[in-house]
């Protein structure tokens, strides 16, 4: 894609080449969580912004100034080469953090950066299994991808399930969680948020294997049940590694589902660890 983008001309008012700006905008958006959220915060048209990201159009100087101001940067910063821009962006983030962020936020960021190299053996695609917090007697199989972005190890989890309402109509529910990983005291900590509604966080603590190849990771997950009462819950959780590749296939995503505990596709080791209904703890 970069070879195509690089051929795009500068903006009509000299705001910068589409290639460098689009690359830098993608870096900025990755920190916002989603394109829609970033456009909402900045107050810019999403359809037009997508053209900036694609490199087919360069933003006007006015729009570029608005984006730069939101990020605490200058218009000139937005047109820097990728490596220079990333350094400038990090400098700004560190400066802003030192000014307005409590010290513990800086500590969390430093911890994430400090354990990134030790987490590299865990990169890849996994099936995540745990008892459903709202559908009694069922197991939720989700897809989790652990990957490196910048100097931190991040992950995304996709939950998908088909459920029937009181009238027998089938509905498909899908949730996406984005988070960051820590390896502290030989335990893998994962903390995420639900991307679309941003109304919950999930915490997972795993006991990882320190031998290769990594096959299973077992632990506990705690979150909020997606019911009208939104009860906190905790359950045993098992991660089954599928591959080292962080690029998940559509076929793998289609296997994210609500399944029966006796489903033969559940590995025996996972089924044994999850145990009976009693392993799910929910606040009443």
Query: Using omega within 30 degrees of 0 as the cis cutoff, is the peptide bond preceding 283 cis?
Result: no
37 belongs to a structural domain: yes
User: Pick from 65, 96, 127: which residue ends a domain?
Assistant: 96
| Domain range enclosing 44 | 21-96
Could you give the maximum distance between any two Cα atoms of the chain, in Å? 66
Q: pLDDT tens digits, residue range 43-69?
A: 889 899 999 998 888 899 999 998 988
Domain holding 232: CATH number?
A: 2.40.128.120
pLDDT averaged over every residue in the chain: 84
Residues paired with 31 in a beta bridge = none
Q: Note whether 125 and 248 are within 8 A (CB).
A: yes
Q: Is the model's pLDDT at 118 over the cut of 90?
A: yes
Q: Which residues contact 152 (CB under 8 A, 6 or more apart)?
A: 112, 113, 116, 180, 181
What is the model's pTM? 0.64
Query: Is 126 found in the same domain as 235?
Result: yes
253: left (phi over 0), alpha (psi -120 to 50) or beta: alpha
Which helix (H) or strand (E) is 110 found in, with range? Answer: helix 103-114
Domain holding 84: CATH number?
A: 1.10.260
Q: pLDDT tens digits, residue range 18-29?
A: 678 899 998 888
């Amino acid at each position: 894609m970069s070879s195509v983008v690089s051929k795009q001309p500068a903006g009509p008012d000299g705001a910068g080449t589409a290639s460098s700006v689009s690359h830098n905008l993608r870096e900025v958006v990755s920190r916002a969580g989603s394109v829609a959220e970033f456009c909402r915060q900045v107050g810019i048209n999403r359809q037009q912004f997508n053209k900036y990201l694609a490199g087919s159009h360069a933003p006007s100087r006015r729009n570029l100034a608005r984006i730069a101001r939101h990020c605490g940067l200058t218009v000139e910063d937005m047109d820097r080469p990728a490596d220079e821009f990333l350094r400038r962006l990090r400098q700004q983030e560190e400066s802003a953090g030192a000014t307005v962020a409590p010290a513990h936020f800086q500590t969390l960021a430093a911890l994430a950066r400090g354990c990134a190299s030790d987490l590299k053996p865990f990169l890849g695609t996994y099936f995540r299994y745990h008892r459903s917090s709202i559908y009694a007697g069922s197991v939720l199989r989700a897809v989790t991808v652990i990957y490196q972005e910048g100097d931190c190890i991040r992950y995304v989890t996709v939950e998908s399930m088909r459920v029937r309402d009181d009238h027998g109509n089938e509905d498909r529910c899908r949730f996406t969680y984005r988070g960051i990983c820590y390896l502290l005291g030989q335990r893998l900590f994962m903390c995420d948020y639900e991307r679309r509604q941003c109304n919950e966080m999930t915490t997972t603590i795993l006991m990882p294997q320190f031998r290769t190849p990594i096959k299973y990771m077992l632990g506990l997950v705690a979150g909020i049940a997606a019911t009208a009462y939104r009860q906190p819950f905790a359950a045993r959780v098992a991660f089954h590694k599928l591959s080292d590749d962080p690029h998940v296939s559509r076929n793998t995503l289609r296997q994210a589902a609500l399944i029966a505990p006796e489903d033969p596709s559940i590995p025996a080791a996972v089924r044994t660890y999850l145990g009976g209904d009693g392993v799910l703890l929910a606040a009443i």
